[in-house]
């Protein structure tokens, strides 16, 4: 599992370039956290590509497919 926290200057690198690298190495799960938009996306590898498994924006819970019981409430991550 890999989790990337996207900063303003690294959006393309974290969401495209690194995603392709992790996909090539078949990392089972890839989380993208975008603080600026209060979004968490969870991708899981299916075959040779990542598919969106779970997403939450502003509120809601995202869940892991590969780590049983792991779930994150978006409000807990982005609360001020």
Specify the number of domains making up the chain. Answer: 1
**Residue-wise pLDDT tens for the chain (80 aa)?**
999 999 888 888 888 999 999 999 999 999 999 999 999 999 999 999 999 999 999 899 999 999 999 999 999 999 87
CATH number of the domain enclosing 37: 3.90.1570.10
Is residue 23 exposed (0-12), middle (13-18) or buried (19+ Cβ within 10 Å)?
Answer: middle
- Domain hosting 44: range is 2-78
């Amino acid at each position: 599992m890999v989790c990337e926290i996207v900063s303003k200057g690294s959006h393309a690198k974290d969401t495209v370039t690194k995603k392709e690298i992790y996909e090539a190495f078949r990392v089972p799960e890839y989380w993208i956290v975008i603080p600026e938009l209060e979004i968490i996306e969870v991708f899981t590898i299916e075959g040779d590509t990542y598919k969106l498994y779970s997403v939450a924006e502003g509120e809601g819970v995202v869940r892991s497919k590969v780590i049983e019981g792991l779930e994150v409430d978006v409000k807990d991550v982005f609360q001020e």
